Structure 1
């Protein structure tokens, strides 16, 4: 197979602020794998899980170039050999994800079937995706909810907390969103911005406001405290930054209630599928999330949308200049198309 890669930059309509900072644009990679006249598409999105942990599209592209001669002898279906290359060279998981997704897209196109159909998914089981409100003042949070209503039905809202101003600022913002959207299902994601004590202190208010689960309350460096939090939890605890792959799922079972699977962390659809089954076997709930992904990557994980309890796939809905079109929003649900592979195409300018 032949691999081509190019960078593209996307800009957010509304910059997103989380506990680690604010982001208004992102440069990602568009990967294309060609064989037998068929081209599969994938995306690699640089991401970080800690302050100072900075990955760039340039560094990802360098890794793709280094892998090309080692992957070119194989076909897109030769996964044992491809994963052997990954084990030998240990590229960033976002690089693996881009290659994995492109190979899956190629296979779907070769079979002339959408990936969701190849997995036997029932699209009627796809739940509405949440939309995200970043850290801000209560007034700006209310405004963001109103902006989302112009884009989609806001049935579920994820609220980013862990404000640098402390938990009182978090309390005020959370209250503001609830007042603006009294009927919405709320979830909270602190992105590791709380201590164990702060998480325990915040829980009664989360429950009182009907928050359905709490995501990544503790920093990666404080993972040892999840056992104590789990024992006193008043609502389900999910992990994101603490859970990359199936090995992490096994490690965290028993101290959390659910996991957030992201293609860029897991290394692609193949590992995401493993994580789903491992989580189910261990009695954990499953959520899918995203970084600053375009419609390409979100259409990829949407192929597995029917197998998730919760979806947080709104990044492309907040882009001014997404170059791709694919999975479509229907009544707040991100539904993959019946087109072969990912069903992703370039937008017409």
Structure 2
């Protein structure tokens, strides 16, 4: 296979804030794998929380370029095993695994959801994320982007005031993501008030390793709690089943579609709700997530909607959340920049 790597700085329409950081752009790596005249594309973004940079990913992948070139590509899961054996970070593996899946589908001229035997006639609507900012700015974001479901980023000493104010501007469902900023006592106290304000669930309110606190929430929170930072790789799913009502899978963190498919299956077998989230990817990464939609209960795939300019075509998300799937194979991705 022929390998190509290209880095991008994706500019955001507005500053995006969470409890631990804010940013105006997102660095991203696009990996391309070409075989028999077809090219598959994958993506992984940088992430300071996990110590991931685009130059670091490029160095890792370039270290096995010759072996990728000589790899006898048959199907993505075997290629994924090869990448794991080479000791790459999950973010680097994700970029290559997504490219391999896109390539695999294009070689067969079938979308991935069709290869997996799933039906796209019914799928969850993506939420639209309102990054943490001043109350005025967060309210302005809602006014300028009417949407049926919002994920609200919190993590301040006035979180309830934020939600009360935002509720004035929309009847949409709310999902709350505190990105590890709350305590167990704070979460238990906030949950009934947030439920009255139309909140559907809470995402990762406590620090990732606060299992004792999460056990308290499992028994005392009136709102379901979804794991994010506590659920990174496949081995985390079983542990989360004892403390959370569901999991949010990030392709970059777990290493791509190959492990994500197994995580979805395991979580469902354990009675958990399943969500897949994004990391402010372009349409390259979002199109890969969209292939999983028929298997999900919730999804957060608004990354490309937050950009001033996209770098690819593929799956489209229309106003209100309708998803348009291209009929091309794989994830249906083509680069435009």
Give the TM-score of the pair, scaled to structure 1.
0.92
Report the equivalent of 2:67: 70
2:287 equivalent among 287, 294, 299: 299
The alignment yields a C-alpha RMSD, in angstroms, of 1.6
The answer (yes or no) to whether the contact 2:52–2:91 under 8 Å persists in 1 is: no
**Residue 115 of structure 2 aligns with which residue?**
118
- Secondary structure of 1:339 counterpart: coil
CA distance in 1, matches of 2:173, 2:77: 42
Compute the displacement of 1:135 (Å). 1.3
Aligned pair partner of 1:157 in 150, 158, 164: 150
1:259-278 correspondence to structure 2 within 5 Å: 259-278=247-266
Instruction: Find the aligned partners of 2:334 and 2:114 in 1 and give their Cα distance.
Output: 19
- Classify the secondary structure of the residue corresponding to 2:201: strand
**Structure 2 counterpart of 1:36:** 36
Structure 1 stretches of 4+ with a deviation exceeding 6 A read none
The structure 1 residue matched to 2:178, chosen from 190, 195, 203, is 190
Rounded to whole Å, the distance in 2 between the matches of 1:124 and 1:78 is 26
Relative to structure 1, the CA distance from residue 254 to residue 47 in structure 2 (aligned partners, 3 Å threshold; closer, same or farther) is same
Q: Is 1:302–1:335's contact at 8 Å kept on the other side of the alignment?
A: no
> Tell me, what secondary structure is at the counterpart of 1:128?
coil
Give the Cα separation in 1 of the matches to 2:103 and 2:85. 24
**3-state SS of the aligned residue for 2:26?**
strand
Structure 2 contact 42–94 (Cα < 8 Å) conserved: yes
Deviation at 1:39, TM superposition (A): 1.4
Q: Deviations over 1:68-116 (max 9, x none)?
A: 2333322332556534433333212111111111111111111011111
Aligned residue-pair number? 336
Distance 1:108 1:44 in 2: 19
Instruction: Tell me which residue corresponds to 1:238.
Output: 226
Distance in 1, Cα, partners of 2:93 & 2:322? 27
Contact 1:130–1:155, Cα closer than 8 Å, also in 2: yes
Q: How far did 1:305 drift?
A: 0.8
Partners of 2:22 and 2:314 lie apart in 1 by 27
SS of match in other structure, 1:121: coil
- Indicate yes or no: 2:2 matched with 1:5: no
Q: 1:223 to 1:346 in 2, by over 3 A?
A: same
1:1-349 map, 5 Å: 1-48=1-48, 50=49, 53-79=50-76, 81-149=78-146, 154-163=147-156, 166=157, 169-181=158-170, 183-330=171-318, 331-347=320-336
Asked if structure 1 preserves the Cα contact closer than 8 Å seen for 2:102 and 2:333, the reply is no
Secondary structure of the 2:332 match is coil
Q: SS of the counterpart of 1:220?
A: coil
Instruction: Give distance in 2, aligned partners of 1:242 and 1:68.
Output: 32
- SS at structure 2 position matched to 1:246: coil
Note if contact 1:126-1:333 (Cα within 8 Å) is conserved in structure 2.
no
Q: Tell me if structure 1 keeps the 8 A contact 2:80–2:258.
A: no
Gaps of 5+ in 2: none
CA shift, 1:301, in A, is 0.9
- Normalising by the residue count of structure 2, what TM-score does the alignment of the two structures yield? 0.95
Q: How much has 1:252 moved relative to structure 2?
A: 1.2
Inter-partner Cα distance in structure 2 for 1:87 and 1:346: 27
1:119 deviates by 1.4
Distance 1:239 1:81 in 2: 28
